[in-house]
Amino acid sequence: MTGARNIARRVPRALLRAAGRFGDKGGWVMSSHVAMSLMMALFPFVLFVVALAGFLSRDVPVDDLFQLLFGSWPLEVAQPIERELRAVLAAADSRLLTLGGVLALYFASNGVDAVRVAMTRAYHDTDPRPFWQTRLLCLGLVIAGAALVLAGVAVDLVLPIYANMLQAAVPGEVTSWFAGVGVSWIFVTAMPALGVVAFHLLLPGRRHGLRQILPGVGLTLLLWALAGWAFSIYIARFATYSATYAGLAGAMSALIFLYLNAAILILGAEFNGALIDAGREDDGPEGGPAAG
């Protein structure tokens, strides 16, 4: 009971401290840097995924790929970006995609590196790792993300075929629920969660235990869901980006959406950092750091 009371007391204190740290440390400025870096990395990442898929198979299911990448985005934000990406993919031949995919891998990793810097600052850590090590880490996360997207596309294509074969072999109502089964929604839901967990575990300069990062991960995912819902309503009913930015309206709406999500990601890391500090303060000078 004492532990539960301590946690209940730490959470509101940590939330207030995290909000204060976010403002004092230029969280909004850092969020704009992360958002711009992610926006610049978005197109290279999609090109790399398509190049990797083209290396594995000639027929790239672009529709399924976009569904996995942008399924969690508000429709009004995702559609303009998808339209521009389709135009880029239609104009590029396979050789260009294969050659560009190598360069796109590096440029896409810049977005992950911006998140690394922001997460390290939020946790009040310093990063002693050399440049080559952090760059390899960012490259590895990009490749892992691309592999996860392709795995989702592959499973979404294969599972309905298997379901139809199963239904033909075992007719009846028992297997009727397999008809039209798709798992893209599982990947759409799981990929942001896995991405946030990986960012908290791997990117900060100091490793933190799973128990230490879960509160910030949960806060981030909750606020992302609320922000996506609220931003879709705002775009549909109130925003007038087309009057302000003309042909850049779609890109600006996506950039602002990424800016909001980057701020939430950094706030979640600040929340974890504040919880860790609060645990150390409650433990006293002899209690040591909170257990991971």
Q: What are phi and psi of 209, to 5 degrees?
A: -70, 160
71 or 289, greater pLDDT: 71
Query: Which of 10-24, 121-135, 198-212, 230-244 has the weakest average pLDDT?
Result: 230-244
Q: Quick one: what percent of the chain has pLDDT higher than 70?
A: 70
Distances (CA, A) of 276 to 4, 10, 84, 155: 16, 10, 43, 39
Condensed to tens digits (0 to 9), the pLDDT of residues 216-242 reads: 999 999 999 999 888 888 877 766 655
Q: How far apart are CA 134 and CA 119, in angstroms?
A: 13
Closest among 130, 258, 266, 126 to 200, alpha carbons compared: 266
20: CB partners within 8 A, 6+ apart = none
54: CB partners within 8 A, 6+ apart = 60, 94, 97, 98
Q: How confident is the model at residue 291 (pLDDT cuts 50, 70, 90)?
A: very low
Average predicted confidence (pLDDT) for the chain: 76
- HEC string of 39-56 equals HHHHHHHHHHHHHHHHHH
- Per-residue DSSP letter, 248: G
For CA atoms 175, 177, 183, 189, the dihedral sign is negative
Condensed to tens digits (0 to 9), the pLDDT of residues 59-101 reads: 666 777 787 778 778 887 888 888 877 777 776 655 545 556 6
Query: Are 97 and 44 contacting, i.e. CB atoms less than 8 angstroms apart?
Result: no
Q: How far apart are CA 152 and CA 65, in angstroms?
A: 8
Which residue has 């995924």 as its token pair? 49
pLDDT value, residue 143: 86
Q: How far apart are CA 132 and CA 12, in angstroms?
A: 39
- Per-residue DSSP letter, 176: G
Closest among 147, 142, 129 to 37, alpha carbons compared: 142
State mean pLDDT over 50-60.
65
**Region for residue 124 given its phi and psi (left: phi exceeds 0; alpha: psi -120 to 50; beta: otherwise):** left
Tell me the whole-structure pTM to 2 decimals.
0.79
Q: How confident is the model at residue 185 (pLDDT cuts 50, 70, 90)?
A: low
153 or 146, greater pLDDT: 146
Q: What are phi and psi of 162, to 5 degrees?
A: -65, -40
How many other C-beta atoms lie within 10 A of the C-beta of residue 130? 9
